[in-house]
Amino acid sequence: MRRTATALLAAALLLAGAVGCSSEKSQDEIAKDCVAALKARPDGDKAKPADCKGLSEDDYQTLLMSHVLTDDLGWVDGDGNVDREKMLDDATSQP
């Protein structure tokens, strides 16, 4: 009887712990929110969005570079293909 009660109590505590931990966002969810925040921030804003908090600095820098190359500069399309002509035009154009 004692073993059964102890086992049930341990199972209940493990289940409660698992449910409690699931309320935190996964790294994928944080990254998805960060990408949306990067797309929504105003031009010229260089601050790290609050939605990106929780990502490692390397992950944030990777998402930021992807955003710049794809959305800001337009050098990379949605499939990951580089538009070399656009890149060269931007690199050789006179300001």
Taking only the tens place, the pLDDT of each residue in 43-55 is 889 999 999 999 9
Query: Residue 61: inside a domain, yes or no?
Result: yes
| Domain range enclosing 51 | 25-92
User: In this predicted structure, what is the pLDDT of residue 9?
Assistant: 47
39 lies in some domain: yes
The answer as to whether 79 is a domain residue is yes
Domain assignment of residue 14, yes or no: no
Return mean pLDDT, the chain: 82
- Over residues 61-77, the pLDDT tens digits come to 999 999 999 988 999 98
| Domains of the chain: total | 1
pLDDT-derived band at 94, boundaries 50, 70, 90: confident
Q: What is the pTM of this model?
A: 0.66
Strand partners, 55: 53
Q: Are 34 and 49 in contact (CB under 8 A)?
A: yes
- Confidence check: pLDDT of 80 > 90: no
